[in-house]
Amino acid sequence: MTGLAIAGLTKRYGGARQAAAVDGLDLAIGANRFVTLLGPSGCGKTTTLRLIAGYLMPDAGTIRAGDRILSEPGRVISPEFRNMGMVFQNYAVWPHKTVFENVVFGLTVRRLPTDKARERVERMLDLVHLSGLGGRLPGELSGGQQQRVALARSLVVEPGILLLDEPVSNLDARLRERMRAELKDLQRRTGVTFVYVTHDQAEALALSDEIAVLHGGRLQQVGSPEEVYRRPANRIVADFMGLLSIVPARVLDAAAGEVELEGGGRIGGIGGIAARMGDIVDLGIRPEDVRLRPPDGRGIAAEVVDRVYLGNVADVHLALADGRRLRAQIHPLDPAPVGARVEIEIDVRHLSVFTRDGEGGAP
Amino acid sequence: METVHAAAGSRRCGAGRRIVTHAWLEVGVTGAAVAALVVLVVLPIASLLLGSLTASDGLGLEHFHRALSSSLYLRPLVNSLILGSWTGLVSLLIGLPIAWLVARTDIRAKGFIRFTATMGYLTPPFLTSIAFANLFGPNAGIVNVFVRDMLGLPWLAFDIFSMSGMVLVTTLHAFPFVYLLAVGALQSIDASLEESAQILGAGRLRTALTITLPLAAPAILGGTLIAFVSAIALFGSQAIIGLPARIFTLPTRIYALFQYPPQYGLASALSLILVTITVAALYLQRAYLARRAYVTLGGQGARAHLVPLGHWRWPAHGFVLLLFLVVVAMPFATLLAVSLSKPWGLAFWQHLTLANYRFVLFEYDVTRRAIANGLVLAALAATLAVLIGAIIARIVQRTDIPGRWVLDYVSLVPLGLPGIVMAVAVLQFWLATPFPLYGTLAILLLAYVARYVPLGVRAADVSLRQIDPSLEQSARTLGASWLVTMREIALPLMRPGLFAGWLLVFVPAIQELSASILLFSSGSITLAVAVFNLYESGLSEQACALAIVNMAIIGAAVAVAHWISRGGLADRMQAVPQ
């Protein structure tokens, strides 16, 4: 249906001296895709969303849909003419209108005949599991139900693009998981392009066809969830996508992928190290790639300094020979008491190698 | 384990002892507050009720029957309703647009609009009435003299002594209620509610009509009802404007009933009819607001779209300037000019003099006494109202004493009593007791404290809410007694709020006329009564000089309040029927 092409998008709040909230963003959002803008608070993701919606005017750059320019400096097509939908973090369900009145609003604005509008609203309420609640006021609904009203209200007008601003962050953990599944399902069934903003990497991984990681107003990486997680473009992305321990190492042989940890111990078989022999690089090691075994002198020596029971896994904090910390996740039944001396083995398939000039590399 | 248990046990015992002493103190303080409320509010209202039902032969509805069958009393009832309705409507037509300008547009005169509204609220309506009578009196009002004699356009003359004149003067005081409530509501509506409508295809006008207006409606309606209530409760403007035009309203009719052999029964019946109207309106406002207060739902409503006015800013500025002229500039300039003139008239500037000030400040013992009485009464009333208010607010918020909601409720009752009704009630009650309070400052003080206790409760309530109970609890946990906790933690934290509350009572108390007019004697005459009497005896110039003195005192108090709360005064302004 509709895709978007964002080019050079820049937005500053306050004067031109102010740091840009969004800085030279280039992003193509394919039609019928589920695209997530991911980043910590203040990274510019919500600003980007509001620029796409047309609530803000860019200071530079354009937003296009096909060959139609939606936004450029000095000329922004008003939100009401963009055929988009938006779901806000606080749902923004109108408290003075019933569920039915909320959902039918966009259809009334579009002058749909009453009986046809009623039929579409009923169908949409059914789709979001709210049938029979059309006469309720939002004050009588739970948070999750209000969330569904907001979704139904946006989807019933069949928008080309649906924008979602942290829509499940106000729900409790259980409900959040269920809404996630429903959102994914809704997107598949309606075929509407979803642009989803969140700071929760697990949510982004679970939902998206494509993730755009933002930081400091700049786009860091775009890719499928697996690409972004397994091959982070730089340290910022790697750090944001889940737990990561940084361990410095010296390159012994770039071609063979062999490095030596600063505190002793070698790792071999790392692919694609963009550094020369003798250079110091940082290894980004994910806890699930660290395995523990009893010491036999062949692995890297470490000591268990802390162990946190998390139910499905145990989070183990290790100290290497030089005192550097490394985290590992092991099966909760595996023995590794605090104080135990162990050796570790690292699965290099997920290993990220960052050179000291800030650029990243992956196997 | 044993020792731990023992220690915990002994500590529990200690806490138990402390709770007992604490409870005694609390019972004492609570008892005092309850007793004060009973004497100040409950008993006077009870004797009002009783008085209205006392017929020639025992109890009966005789007085109500007379009040509702004779046009002598029905006409004032109708006039009061007409005055209230028109004032409510015109206040809406002025207050809502300027609220919208402040909350939702990029107009730059926002501070100016706020100032104008605050001044309208703070200026005693009877002073505005005196000013406008000097401008638009049918014979001597200088604007009328000017258009009739100098321009030769008699049809341009406006007679202030009319219902429209009364509505005009009252509205200048009442529109800030609509403005304040509307501006609060418009500012707190979350922008996302409107943005949702916009992205669904609704234009600006449609969004305003279907989303913004319905969401703000309860507040706007509430403000209009408060404007209505305060309009019908005001005595001064209705006497100064209405009586020369022979337009009687309920307050002026009640006043008249005390002129000849006082007719307490009938006055009580009329008072209760007046109270019925005000209480019904306030109840409607509260019930409606409580049930449909959506505005709080949005939460983080900091973001709001500011509509660029473009060329519309010129008519907007014109409207604001006109409002300022009528609300602030005209009354104050007139009062000042009259107070400085020998005889007031078109050529007043040829004979400017300070003699009127010398007269009211130094020569005339009645006005000197009135100034002193006014200051003492207002200061005492403010102190007592805030003290009682603080105790009541504490009991309601921080204890679980059963029935404490009754206390809260009773303390709010005076909000529904027009000043003159409070005077009738207090008078009835104390005349029936053996205490010879009539004509003393004490009876005025009792009436003032009763009238302004709601303000004290509100101020204490607000400042208590800002202090987390955990602050006091941690002091108690560390072993501090209730008294020490109060002295070291609670009172210091509440002090700024209580002082602001004190000034909020002081300002209306120094200009109190509606109740004082029935309760004063030559020895206990107050500032506002002296202004009123001077004007009524034809000493307009001297009355205006005293009015300026009155305004100077109010101005000083407000300046202090403003300085302390840094502009928070407007938020604390509360609706009190005069």
Please give the radius of gyration of chain B, using alpha carbons only, rounded to the nearest integer: 26
Best of B198, B200, B213 to disrupt the A interface by mutation (most A CBs within 10 Å)? B200
Dihedral pair phi/psi, residue B524, rounded to 5°: -110, 25
Instruction: Give the minimum alpha-carbon distance from B290 to chain A in angstroms, rounded to a whole number.
Output: 13
Q: Which residues contact A141 (CB under 8 A, 6 or more apart)?
A: A93, A99, A133, A149
Same fold, B1-60+354-578 and B71-337: yes
pLDDT digits (tens, 9 = 90+) for B118-131: 899 889 999 999 99
Confidence grade of residue B289 (pLDDT, cut at 50, 70, 90): low
Q: How far apart are CA A158 and CA A153, in angstroms?
A: 10
* Cβ contact, residue pair B201, A85, below 8 Å: no
pLDDT value at residue B151 = 84
Domain ranges of chain B: 1-60+354-578, 71-337
pLDDT digits (tens, 9 = 90+) for A67-80: 899 999 988 898 88
Angle at B356 between CA B354 and CA B359, to 5 degrees: 115
Whether chain A has a CB inside 8 Å of the CB on B298: the answer is yes
pLDDT digits (tens, 9 = 90+) for B205-245: 898 899 888 888 888 988 899 899 999 999 999 999 999 99
Confidence grade of residue B292 (pLDDT, cut at 50, 70, 90): low
Q: How far apart are CA B529 and CA B534, in angstroms?
A: 8
Q: Which fold has domain B71-337?
A: MetI-like fold (1.10.3720)
* Cβ contact, residue pair A96, B203, below 8 Å: no
Of B190, B199, B211, the CB nearest to A80: B199
Q: Which residues of chain A make contact with B201, given a CB cutoff of 8 A?
A: 80-81, 106, 109-110, 157
Burial B318-340 (b: 16+ CB within 10 A, else e): eebeebbebbbebbbebbbbbbb
Q: State both tokens at B536.
A: 């009524």
Dihedral angle computed from the Cα positions of residues A130, A132, A134 and A139, in that order, rounded to the nearest 10 degrees:
-70
- Chain A's closest residue to B200, CA to CA, is A106
DSSP summary character for residue B350: G
Of B202, B297, B299, the CB nearest to A109: B202
Q: What is the DSSP string of B3-49?
A: HHHHHHHHHHHHHHHHHHHHHHHHHHHHHHHHHHHIIIIIHHHHHHH
Burial B212-222 (b: 16+ CB within 10 A, else e): beebbbbbbbb
Q: Which residues of chain A make contact with B197, given a CB cutoff of 8 A?
A: 94, 105
Q: How far apart are CA B508 and CA B448, in angstroms?
A: 10
pLDDT digits (tens, 9 = 90+) for A154-196: 989 889 899 999 888 878 888 888 888 888 988 998 889 999 9
**Are the C-beta atoms of B293 and B556 separated by less than 8 Å?**
no
- Chain B's closest residue to A77, CA to CA, is B199
Contact residues, B window 454-493, toward A, CB-based 8 Å cutoff: none
Residues on chain A bordering chain B, Cβ-to-Cβ distance under 8 angstroms: 53-55, 78-82, 84-86, 88, 90, 92, 94-96, 105-106, 109-110, 138-139, 150, 153-154, 157
Q: How many residue contacts between A and B have a Cβ separation below 8 Å? A: 68
The more confidently predicted of residues B36 and B61 is B36
Q: Look up the pTM and report it.
A: 0.79
* Cβ contact, residue pair A106, B201, below 8 Å: yes
pLDDT value at residue B444 = 94
Continuous segment of H or E residues that includes residue A320: strand A314-320
Say if strands A60-65 and A4-12 run parallel, antiparallel, or are unpaired: antiparallel
Superfamily name and number for B1-60+354-578: MetI-like (1.10.3720.10)
β-bridge partners, A87: A164
* Cβ contact, residue pair B197, A157, below 8 Å: no
- Chain A's closest residue to B191, CA to CA, is A92
Residue B299 has pLDDT above 50, yes or no: no
* Cβ contact, residue pair A86, B196, below 8 Å: yes
Of the listed ranges B184-188, B271-275, B324-328, the least confidently predicted one is B184-188
pLDDT digits (tens, 9 = 90+) for B306-339: 778 888 889 999 999 999 999 999 999 999 999 9
Q: How far apart are CA B561 and CA B502, in angstroms?
A: 9
Query: For chain B, what is the total number of helices (H) and then of strands (E)?
Result: 28, 2
* Cβ contact, residue pair B215, A94, below 8 Å: yes
- Chain A's closest residue to B215, CA to CA, is A96
pLDDT value at residue B264 = 85
Q: How far apart are CA A158 and CA B237, in angstroms?
A: 60
Whether chain A has a CB inside 8 Å of the CB on B294: the answer is yes
B526: left (phi over 0), alpha (psi -120 to 50) or beta: beta
- Chain B's closest residue to A107, CA to CA, is B200
Of A90, A94, A110, the CB nearest to B201: A110
pLDDT value at residue B442 = 92
* Cβ contact, residue pair A90, B298, below 8 Å: yes
* Cβ contact, residue pair A92, B190, below 8 Å: yes
Of A55, A90, A150, the CB nearest to B190: A90
pLDDT digits (tens, 9 = 90+) for A291-328: 898 888 778 889 999 999 998 899 999 999 888 899 99
Please give the radius of gyration of chain A, using alpha carbons only, rounded to the nearest integer: 25
Question: Rounded mean pLDDT of B124-149?
Answer: 88
Instruction: Give the minimum alpha-carbon distance from B182 to chain A in angstroms, rounded to a whole number.
Output: 17
pLDDT value at residue B461 = 84
Best of A90, A91, A163 to disrupt the B interface by mutation (most B CBs within 10 Å)? A90
Residue B26 has pLDDT above 70, yes or no: no
* Cβ contact, residue pair A55, B195, below 8 Å: yes
Strands, sheet with A245-253, edge to edge from the N-terminal-most edge strand:
A266-267, A258-261, A245-253, A280-285, A352-355, A360-361
Mean model confidence pLDDT for chain A: 88
Instruction: Give the minimum alpha-carbon distance from B560 to chain A in angstroms, rounded to a whole number.
Output: 35
